[in-house]
Structure 1
């Protein structure tokens, strides 16, 4: 019997597999999709994450940072927010006495680096999908679609927003879909990217720039569903013309390489565990991607759960002890809810066309730029330093 079976070998699930197996646990990892094998010079993927300092430290402790190609990592030192022609609000690494605020990385690179660091003791089932789950007093049994049975003391559901494991154990969700969608656009620029990411707030939704290595960058366009669907049907040349019209001139000259869009949703599991099953990452919560905090929250879940499980394992205690799992839920639910609510408030304030609200947010940006200690605290929070 395994100590832990992790369902979902994405970034969060794979990080837990590395951490728990290195602590001596018998771990199995079930991943539905085969990992793509990409050449070193593959085009940059659309799925990019802004990895904050806490997540960076977590990945570094697992050996993943050293395994990621440096040519595919872009540090950023400045986070800029602005609206129209108003003076920008800049959060800088120098203000926090840090060398950088975080890194822009492709999700696939992070996932592959974590899989490369899996100890040989980890049993891998990939590609494989779970057909059913049965809970007993002292263990859980998963049945895969090919008929294999996996008995284990604990199941960690890291299988994403549409988690089958969460559904199997009957954990409901609270959430909604936002009125807007988000378009991701990879571009090749005429110049090397600067180590700065920015967000411009407009009456139609935010526009964002994410620097990538070399002459690469990712643009993010938030707008109404119909508008984003219309943009998705344009040719690269037509989409470029729209970007030049609706993004700041700072983008400069560029060529569009690829684009895709997705709806914006928020969801939060009503519970984080049931019996011998515990949720992490998107299986437990999804968040408005406005500040790029989604995977950082997932890594924070993984870090907290790993600390508790390793302590239980070293003391030869039950890995599914309800009191321990309740501690995990209390701590992570509070942190995740706080970030989710903050992003919702931010989204509503900066998406409102009402004149009084526009005046208020302009004043707020100006005030924030002068509020030294408070500004530093917000910067540290965004960077995962508090």
Structure 2
């Protein structure tokens, strides 16, 4: 059986589902294919261990798509402050205040109510799936894997595992870091795996929901706190992130909950509230990869299929939403001009806008990773000077905050200059 569409999007995660919703609202005939089923939210269940810090820019995009009210109706936790400080011991540790160079980004300094929201991934994805499914121009194909790709000169298409053929003008690969579409299109990647891994732990703590998310930096890697919703009975949920060596995280994962809780309370900064319960834990490698090209003929990549970055500042899904917003804008322009949706000039325009922006963020995360994840005295001095300068200069601090919130499109000058001096910047 063959079905015809304007666009086939493979991957119905947050980025793919957002793109399908945006294009469907613009009247394009869209097929949204995913090997998984639609996510299901149940308010009585513990929070999803996978959460994202959605920036103000992502909130604005999701509002344009009409799904932000649905996300808020489920659950989302606003945060008004973001704190960063260095926890590396130094010769004067016993003489100086512990957080001599802590930096706090505060929404009140930006005339904003919040910096962003912490949202469970399944909530964002379900809201987008529901919205896409409600559009008459969008057809969902859940629980279907793509087995082959047709990337012709005048048409494109995919074949599903049940033998269904979907033909179109353009195929979008939004199927994650291990993208099958990217492989079928013959698009290579550059890939670097970090020495660290990250463990995510879903916990409950005593006290009300906090309005701050923070990261303390240690030589072995950062340890982060992300507030979630109330758990009732005077407790709240939170997501913790512990970066460390694979060997150390394997040891931690082998502990029972009471032993792990004791390790966390001892190893995390004293700002961590008193934990009462561990619900779930998972670890994953940290990999930076970038597709050699975002476009091959009638195939275009978006989100993690095109790029993955160090999750240090939680910017991965925000970059993916920026990809989706840009790509749908370019496709609309092509349609208004009466052009082929996969016309090279249009898809190159998308890559020319998104590749440099994604590359800058990837390298900015590398700056922070290499600057903080070590015990080298000169770098220790440099990072504390940098944090101290950011603390002393509100204008510079607020520029960084606006970029992270998706309000400003450009990295602050000093960070751009640092990234451009990193080895490998030109190759990414």
Same topology, TM > 0.5: yes
Aligned to 1:105: 119
Q: Distance in 1 between matches of 2:35 and 2:300?
A: 19
Question: Cα distance, 1:38 vs. partner?
Answer: 3.2
Q: Distance in 1 between matches of 2:85 and 2:40?
A: 39
Q: Distance in 2 between matches of 1:66 and 1:252?
A: 30
Aligned to 1:140: 156
Question: Cα distance, 1:379 vs. partner?
Answer: 0.9
Q: Find out whether 1:348 has 2:362 as its counterpart.
A: no
Q: Report the number of matched residues.
A: 386
Which among 294, 297, 301 is matched to residue 319 of structure 2?
A: 297
Find the residue that maps to 2:119 and give its secondary structure.
strand
Q: Structure 1 unaligned runs (5+)?
A: none
Find the residue that maps to 1:58 and give its secondary structure.
helix
Q: Distance in 1 between matches of 2:373 and 2:145?
A: 40
Find the residue that maps to 1:42 and give its secondary structure.
coil
2:149 touches 2:157 (CA, 8 Å); kept in 1? yes
Question: Cα distance, 1:256 vs. partner?
Answer: 1.1
Which among 25, 49, 52 is matched to residue 49 of structure 1?
A: 52
Q: Distance in 1 between matches of 2:312 and 2:159?
A: 38
2:58 touches 2:321 (CA, 8 Å); kept in 1? yes
Q: Distance in 1 between matches of 2:73 and 2:259?
A: 33
1:86 touches 1:362 (CA, 8 Å); kept in 2? no
Q: Distance in 2 between matches of 1:370 and 1:194?
A: 25
1:192 touches 1:216 (CA, 8 Å); kept in 2? no
Cα shift readout 1:74-93 (whole Å, capped 9, x = no counterpart): 00000100113123201111
Coordinate RMSD, CA, aligned = 1.0
Change (3 A) 1:192 1:77: same
Please list every run of at least 4 consecutive aligned residues from structure 1 whose deviation after the TM superposition is greater than 6 angstroms. Answer: none
Which among 156, 172, 183 is matched to residue 167 of structure 1?
A: 183
Superposition TM-score, scaled by structure 1 size: 0.98
Q: Distance in 2 between matches of 1:81 and 1:335?
A: 23
Find the residue that maps to 1:249 and give its secondary structure.
coil
Aligned to 1:285: 307
Equivalent residues in 2 for 1:167-316, closer than 5 Å: 167-214=183-230, 215-254=236-275, 255-316=277-338
Cα shift readout 1:238-284 (whole Å, capped 9, x = no counterpart): 11010011001222221211111000000000000100000000000
Aligned to 1:80: 83
Q: Distance in 2 between matches of 1:2 and 1:71?
A: 32
